[in-house]
């Protein structure tokens, strides 16, 4: 189980102070501005850390159950053939995040409502809800230190909260990594927004960011250079890794309804003491190293890492790391794993992994039936790691090897007595994963 909050705080503050100045994390010159920003980000992360994470997992389980009950009643009026084919019928939202906003035709007039729909460890994220709407009108990305108004880069560096939307469909090729400041929402609803053939999105030493409704593919490693990360600061960056979304030392982050595929490095990487994160409703395809949570055995600051991975579809062409975890607590809930080539869930350094209500369909390769993969430890060591499976569905010979003691009874109160949905429902809960084709004036 997790250490007590006071012990973790003392240990990690000391570790963070020693470790952070030594880590590049894309920073070539770690100046005073970045030092202050990293310290502030870590304070917010520690405030967001939950000493008893089971309270968060149980709350999410309850909402999943309620949402799917309502969705199943609605589906009873739709033919089975319509559900199997590409769906063009009335809006059906099958999980609690989507039911909060997606089938309301006035979503475009009430975009900020989305911020009330977050669940899991990223449940406190509000993004740019307290700010103005900023409209991206220009897909270009030509100036890294003095970006033009109307571009995505100009919007994400502003100090005040902003809800960033897009005037029309566009393809954005980022010349260098996009460094996003705190209190921002990137909301692609109502347009087909594709980030491709350029750098990815970086959340470094920030908090309270929502990324929703965009597509990211063929993201590349870029050379680095002088890049502005706020209106008051720019600095020299090293070569970027080629991740679609990189989260460094950040907290209260929600990644939702993103379509991701075929990037040079990872699709979503979370490292360096990041916590309070939810990754939900995403569709991931055609990639090797899908998600990395914790980059090094030496980064014990990642003991505070708490991430919810829920309602995602892990689809065609994926190989491994869905996710690959170190140190922290990871709730993997009601995802649909229809493809992997090596393994689905892996880890090292004693992470706690609670897998609930997922559907795992193993590949036909007899050597790759195992869902779980453990690194850098003997069976005597990893047998103590808490990796537990509850209500998962195993198909085509898929096998989850549990370890460690049970995580414990989830602390349901009266009215919170329902169990998480079984993995047989995962395909319904993830049916609309990925970027949605939302049209103004109609339900998404």
Number of H helices, E strands in the chain: 8, 31
Taking the C-alpha atoms of residue 346 and residue 110, their distance in angstroms, rounded to an integer, is 39
Contact in structure between 46 and 304 (CB atoms under 8 Å)? yes
Taking the C-alpha atoms of residue 331 and residue 56, their distance in angstroms, rounded to an integer, is 9
Taking the C-alpha atoms of residue 266 and residue 281, their distance in angstroms, rounded to an integer, is 18
Taking the CB of residue 392, how many other CB atoms lie within 10 A of it? Answer: 24
Joined tokens for residue 207: 């908090």
First-last CA distance in the chain: 40
| Active-site residue, 123 included | no
Placement of tokens 């769906």 in the chain = 87
Joined tokens for residue 399: 């096998």
Joined tokens for residue 138: 């220009």
- Choose among 387, 390, 308, 295: nearest CA to 350: 387
Taking the CB of residue 31, how many other CB atoms lie within 10 A of it? Answer: 12
Query: DSSP assignment, residue 76?
Result: T
Give the Å distances, CA to CA, from 12 to 203, 353, 423: 21, 21, 36
- Choose among 297, 335, 331: nearest CA to 318: 335
Given 228, 321, 359, 428, the catalytic residue: 321
Taking the C-alpha atoms of residue 238 and residue 14, their distance in angstroms, rounded to an integer, is 26
Give the Å distances, CA to CA, from 43 to 5, 9, 106, 121: 14, 10, 38, 17
- Choose among 69, 64, 122: nearest CA to 356: 64
Query: DSSP assignment, residue 178?
Result: E
Q: Which residues are known to be catalytic?
A: 321
């Amino acid at each position: 189980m997790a250490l007590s909050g006071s012990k973790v705080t003392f240990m990690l503050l000391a570790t963070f102070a020693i470790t952070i100045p030594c880590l590049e994390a894309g920073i070539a010159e770690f100046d005073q501005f970045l030092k202050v920003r990293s310290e502030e980000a870590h304070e917010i992360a520690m405030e967001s850390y939950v000493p008893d994470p089971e309270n968060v997992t149980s709350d999410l389980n309850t909402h999943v159950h309620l949402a799917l009950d309502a969705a199943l009643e609605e589906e009873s009026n739709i033919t089975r053939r319509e559900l199997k084919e590409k769906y063009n019928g009335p809006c059906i939202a099958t999980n609690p995040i989507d039911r909060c906003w997606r089938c309301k035709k006035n979503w475009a007039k009430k975009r900020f409502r989305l911020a009330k729909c977050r669940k899991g460890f990223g449940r406190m994220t509000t993004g740019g809800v307290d700010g103005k709407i900023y409209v991206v009108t220009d897909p270009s990305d030509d100036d890294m230190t003095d970006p033009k108004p109307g571009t995505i880069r100009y919007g994400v560096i502003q100090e005040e909260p902003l809800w960033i939307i897009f005037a029309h469909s566009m393809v954005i090729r980022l010349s260098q990594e996009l460094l996003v400041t705190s209190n921002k929402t990137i909301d692609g609803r109502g347009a087909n927004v594709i980030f491709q053939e350029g750098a990815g999105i970086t959340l470094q030493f920030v908090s309270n960011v929502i990324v929703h409704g965009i597509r990211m593919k063929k993201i590349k490693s870029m050379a680095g250079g002088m890049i502005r990360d706020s209106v008051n600061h720019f600095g020299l960056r090293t070569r970027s890794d080629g991740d679609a979304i990189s989260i460094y030392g950040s907290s209260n982050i929600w990644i939702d309804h993103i379509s991701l595929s075929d990037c040079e490095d990872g699709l979503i990487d979370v490292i360096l003491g990041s916590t309070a994160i939810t990754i939900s409703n995403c569709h991931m395809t055609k990639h090797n190293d899908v998600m990395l949570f914790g980059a090094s055995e030496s980064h014990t600051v990642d003991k505070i890492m708490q991430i919810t991975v829920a309602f995602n579809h892990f689809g065609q062409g994926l190989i491994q790391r869905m996710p690959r975890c170190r140190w922290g607590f990871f709730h993997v809930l009601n995802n649909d794993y229809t493809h992997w080539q090596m393994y689905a869930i892996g880890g090292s350094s004693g992470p706690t992994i609670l897998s609930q209500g997922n559907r795992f369909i193993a590949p036909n390769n007899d050597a790759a039936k195992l869902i779980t993969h453990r690194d850098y430890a003997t069976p005597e060591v990893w047998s103590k790691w808490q990796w537990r499976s509850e209500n998962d569905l195993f198909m085509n010979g898929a096998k989850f090897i549990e370890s460690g003691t049970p995580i414990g009874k989830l602390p349901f109160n009266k009215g919170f007595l329902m169990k998480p949905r079984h993995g047989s429902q995962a395909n319904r809960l993830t049916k609309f994963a990925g970027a949605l084709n939302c049209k103004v004036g109609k339900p998404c």
